[in-house]
Amino acid sequence: MSAECSSYLNADKVLVSGFSCPRTGGDARAVYCCGFQDVKYCCDDPHSFFPYEHSYMWWLSVGALVGLSIAAVVLFAFVITVCVLCYLFISTKPRSKLDTGLSLQMAGKTSC
C-alpha cells in the first residue's frame, strides 16, 4: 500500500514536488500522506491528513479566546449582580422584630 503526496507550495512559497509514501529510507509503516496544504509528510495514521492551511488554527484560537473572554465577562457581571442584590436584600430588611398582634399580659392578673 502506498499514497501519493501531490506537489505543494511551502510556507516560503517554494514549490515542493510530489512524492510517494513510504519514502525511500523512511519508516516503512508511513504509507499515508499527511500534513497541511503547505507542508506534507508520510505518516502511519490515515486520519492525520488535514486539508487546510494551518494558519486557520490561529483564527480559531483567536475566536475561542474572544468567546471565552465574553463568557467570563458575562459570568463576572452575573456574580456581581447577585452580590449587589443580596447586599440590598440584607441591608433593607427591617431591623425590629415583627409584631405578632398579641398584647403581653402578666398571668394571674385579671382586669375588670
How much is the average pLDDT of 79-87?
95
- What's the pLDDT band for 99 if we cut at 50, 70, 90? low
What share of the chain has pLDDT > 90, as a percent?
22
Distance CA 88, CA 73 (A): 22
Over residues 89-95, the mean pLDDT reads 81
The C-alpha cell at 23 is 519514502
Please state whether 70 falls in left (phi above 0), alpha (psi between -120 and 50) or beta. alpha
Answer yes or no: is pLDDT of 78 > 80. yes
Say whether pLDDT at 28 is over 60: yes
For the chain, give every domain's residue range: 4-43, 52-92
Amino acid identity, position 36:
F
**pLDDT: is 102 or 83 the higher one?**
83
DSSP letter string over 42-98? EES-TT-B--S-THHHHHHHHHHHHHHHHHHHHHHHHHHHHHHHHHHHHHTS--SPP
pTM above 0.85, yes or no: no
